[in-house]
Structure 1
Amino acid sequence: MLRGAAGAALAAGAAGVLPGVASAEGAGRGGRWGLRVPKDKISIQLYTLRSVLETDLEGTLDALADIGYRKVELAGTYGRSATEFRKLLDARRIRATSTHAGIDGDLDQAIADAKILGNRRSNVAWANFGTIAEWETFADRLEAAGKAYRRAGIKFGYHNHNQEYQTIDGVRPIDVLARRTSRRNVSFEMDLYWVVAGGADPVREFYRNPGRVEQYHVKDRAPDGGFADLGEGDIDFRRIFRATRPLEVEEYIVENDQPVDALKCAETGYKYLTNLRF
């Protein structure tokens, strides 16, 4: 039912129609701005904290737990084995529900490590090609990898940057990826900053493939186009979350590619998401 409603809303202009849907749902929870991001859906990409994780892994994980994080997304295990890193997380009641991993290496080993770490999802973090033919070949490889992950009981997806929204010979790579992969095997982890940087509207991109965007990277943009801590930039997350609420994503992942103060960024992001009403 929701997918049908979403499709009808998109035809009429999702950005203008869907906010009313979410507002009506929130009427019994504090009025028009009664909706919020559930705490159990908030995570953080540990790439944001790479500088401090490299110098004090355990202390940084302690700080994340103290802030309130119970989920993280991995980008490596900082010299620890999958088993060792899982023990560090378990001791702090943190789950690594998601990870970034490539498909160029040993896929069986990546899947085995993901199982040890307790990952429910694995996402390819980066790709960039100069021709549509290369993007098509890459999409086919994503589909094959996604099938292997699905058979192992782990969801598989792709994380965008801005190049996927730039046309090559009149075709956008993101549309190639959507067309040549299946909903069953490949989902999308939408990085909101990079969608905006690519000149696209996150709400419209969400409804181009309704229900297929299952995670957000919640990353803000500074007025000069750089990175900002959440709530200190110019991306309208309230509008995005409200408009996409009918097909709500499973995780809202805090990220900043170049934080000035990584732990402050993590705390600011958590507080922003828990306090936001939409």
Structure 2
Amino acid sequence: MSSTSEGRHLSRRSLLRTAAGAAAVAGMTGALSGTANAAWSGPGRRLPRERIAIQLYTLRHALEADLEGTLEALADIGYRNVELAGTYGRSAEEFRGLLDTYGLRAVSAHVGFDGADIDQLVADARVLGYHYADCAWARYGTLAEWEAFARRLDRAGEAFRKAGIRYGYHNHAHEYEPIDGVRPIDVIARNTSPRNVHFEYDLYWVVTGGADPVAEYYRYFGRVKQYHVKDRAPGGGFANLGEGTIDFAEIFRRTCAGAVQHYIVEHDSPSDPLHTAQVGFDYLANLRF
């Protein structure tokens, strides 16, 4: 890297740090004006900070352009937890080193199991430090194919469980669209053990699929361990948190009795990923429900 390009890189990182840090301080000031650690139950409850994370897929283009600067900016915003979607050409050891450098912790990861070496996935998870992992995508046209997939998912989940990692399934909208009168999400639930497979509900896609997130939460009560907190624009597209139509306060209020461990900010196609990350953190950190 030339001295000129290095200077541009450092200037950009300093700018990110300054802007994100100022916004984070402002958000923290608002949060500290109330009780230092509000109760998880009762009026004015809020999410514990340790349960807030961000899916790094949201920032994939920024991470590809400037991996270290983007991780540093996330830390400056206030994030301490991230969910992984790849390691951007770095080994597990190298990526863990970067997370440690910026005070970030991987609490979860999207990792596929079909055709994968689960032993290697487990080894990487131990290096990276996460204890939750999720299958991010599956789509089939017949119930028989979904049933076969669910059986494979259960076997993978069992292998992960025996290694000390919880394995789950992350939905999109099509799992709520019936095939021959049966929803694929229900096929997955019936053909997997709750011991082996949990659910990571992407709230945007649950709503887009025509389902009620609260009803779905209680349909499989105890199996929903993670939320992707992604907002829906009035026209149906993606929105920054708090700028869309999904009533997260109502969802969280009605589902706070249960096992959700991670509330993960996500946006599939943000125009300004770091702004989206900042807005998402501030929204979740300050939300009362």
Q: Do they superpose with TM above 0.5?
A: yes
Q: Does 1:228 align with 2:228?
A: no
Provide, for residues 155-176 of structure 1, a one-character-per-residue CA deviation record: whole Å limited to 9, x for no partner: 1100000010000000000001
After TM superposition, give the deviation of residue 119 of structure 1 in Å: 1.1
Asked if the contact 2:40–2:47 (Cα under 8 Å) also holds between the matched residues in 1, the reply is no
Provide, for residues 126-154 of structure 1, a one-character-per-residue CA deviation record: whole Å limited to 9, x for no partner: 00000000000000001000010011111
Q: Structure 2: which amino acid aligns with 1:97?
A: V
Normalising to structure 1: TM-score of the pair? 0.88
After TM superposition, give the deviation of residue 92 of structure 1 in Å: 1.2
Q: Cα–Cα, structure 1 residues 89 and 140, in superposed 2: closer, same or farther, change >3 Å?
A: same
Which of 99, 103, 107 in structure 2 is aligned with 1:93?
103
CA distance in 2, matches of 1:223, 1:151: 43
Which of 30, 34, 45 in structure 2 is aligned with 1:35?
45
Partner of 2:88: 78
Asked if the contact 2:40–2:48 (Cα under 8 Å) also holds between the matched residues in 1, the reply is no
Aligned to 2:257, what secondary structure does the other structure show?
Answer: helix
Query: Quick check: 128-137 or 99-108, which moved more?
Result: 99-108
Q: Cα–Cα, structure 1 residues 55 and 247, in superposed 2: closer, same or farther, change >3 Å?
A: same
After TM superposition, give the deviation of residue 225 of structure 1 in Å: 0.2
Provide, for residues 89-143 of structure 1, a one-character-per-residue CA deviation record: whole Å limited to 9, x for no partner: 0111111110000012212111111111001111000000000000000000010
Normalising to structure 2: TM-score of the pair? 0.85
Q: Does 1:270 align with 2:270?
A: no
CA distance in 2, matches of 1:41, 1:261: 24
Aligned to 2:164, what secondary structure does the other structure show?
Answer: coil
After TM superposition, give the deviation of residue 32 of structure 1 in Å: 6.4
After TM superposition, give the deviation of residue 57 of structure 1 in Å: 0.2
Aligned to 2:90, what secondary structure does the other structure show?
Answer: coil
Which of 138, 145, 149 in structure 2 is aligned with 1:127?
138
Q: Structure 1 vs Structure 2: percent identity of aligned residues?
A: 65
Q: Structure 1: which amino acid aligns with 2:192?
A: T
Aligned to 1:73, what secondary structure does the other structure show?
Answer: strand
Partner of 1:54: 64
Provide, for residues 6-29 of structure 1, a one-character-per-residue CA deviation record: whole Å limited to 9, x for no partner: xxxxxxxxxxxxxxxxxxxxxx96
Q: Does 1:245 align with 2:256?
A: yes
**Looking at CA atoms only, which structure, 1 or 2, has the larger radius of gyration?**
2
Q: Structure 2: which amino acid aligns with 1:166?
A: E
Which has the bigger relative contact order, CA under 8 A and spacing at least 6?
Answer: 1
Counterparts of 1:115-264 in structure 2, within 5 Å, are 115-264=126-275
User: Please, which runs of 5 or more residues in structure 2 have no aligned partner?
Assistant: 1-37
CA distance in 1, matches of 2:65, 2:111: 22
Asked if the contact 2:79–2:104 (Cα under 8 Å) also holds between the matched residues in 1, the reply is yes
Aligned to 1:258, what secondary structure does the other structure show?
Answer: coil
Provide, for residues 207-266 of structure 1, a one-character-per-residue CA deviation record: whole Å limited to 9, x for no partner: 001111000000000011000000000000011000001115100000000111000000
CA distance in 2, matches of 1:174, 1:204: 13
Q: Structure 2: which amino acid aligns with 1:276?
A: L
Q: Structure 2: which amino acid aligns with 1:84?
A: E
After TM superposition, give the deviation of residue 34 of structure 1 in Å: 1.1
CA distance in 1, matches of 2:186, 2:259: 21
Q: Does 1:65 align with 2:83?
A: no
Runs of 4+ with >6 A deviation? none
CA distance in 2, matches of 1:30, 1:83: 35
RMSD: 1.4
Aligned to 2:155, what secondary structure does the other structure show?
Answer: helix
CA distance in 2, matches of 1:151, 1:30: 31
Aligned to 1:211, what secondary structure does the other structure show?
Answer: coil
Q: Cα–Cα, structure 1 residues 130 and 89, in superposed 2: closer, same or farther, change >3 Å?
A: same
Q: Cα–Cα, structure 1 residues 187 and 31, in superposed 2: closer, same or farther, change >3 Å?
A: closer
